[in-house]
Amino acid sequence: MKIRDATAADAAAIAHIHVATWQSTYAGLLPSQFLAGLSVAERAAGWRTGLSRPDRRSTVIVAEDSETGAVVGFGGAGPCREEDGQYLGEIYTLYLLAEQHGNGIGKLLFNALKEDLRVQSRLPFMLWVLKDNPTCGFYDRMGGKPYAEKTIDVGGVSVVEVAYGWDAVT
């Protein structure tokens, strides 16, 4: 598995993963009509634009299968969007195709994002995840500690997000 910086040429693959993981992970948590309406084409356009910006302050990386060249996961990180000053960095996205779970790829992506935040002097760091997301245990295993919750609206329903923080990062 190869972890590398994403380029605008990866936009379609990232969009496919983004939509597929939302549809599989959030089934039963978000309205099925909302999930069915997610558009790979719309997401690809957004990713292509974002990845083409020379002034972007965030990092986006992909996990690429070394044998096939297929992108199977991605993640993004940058400055913390919270205004409390407790954390300097934030992981914004970390998505991996369901069939790749348990292969260590999520850990590779997470550690690469953590290293990028370290190099940018953005430690300690945090992330937000839906509280009922079945993959929350991953963040526990990676050493994160839940420290806050908030309710947000997604697809016309209120859901709770939990913030995980990494205070002592090595």
- For the segment 69-108, what is each residue's pLDDT rounded down to a tens digit? 999 999 999 999 988 788 999 999 999 999 998 899 999 9
Strand (E) positions, the chain? 2-5, 59-64, 71-79, 89-96, 125-130, 145-154, 157-166
The pTM of the full predicted model, rounded to 2 decimals, is 0.93
Fold of the domain spanning 2-125: Aminopeptidase (3.40.630)
Closest CA to 118 of 77, 67, 165: 77
pLDDT in tens, 97-149: 999 988 999 999 999 999 999 999 999 999 999 999 988 999 999 999 999 99
Question: Would you list the domain boundaries of the chain?
Answer: 2-125
N- to C-terminal Cα separation, the chain: 23
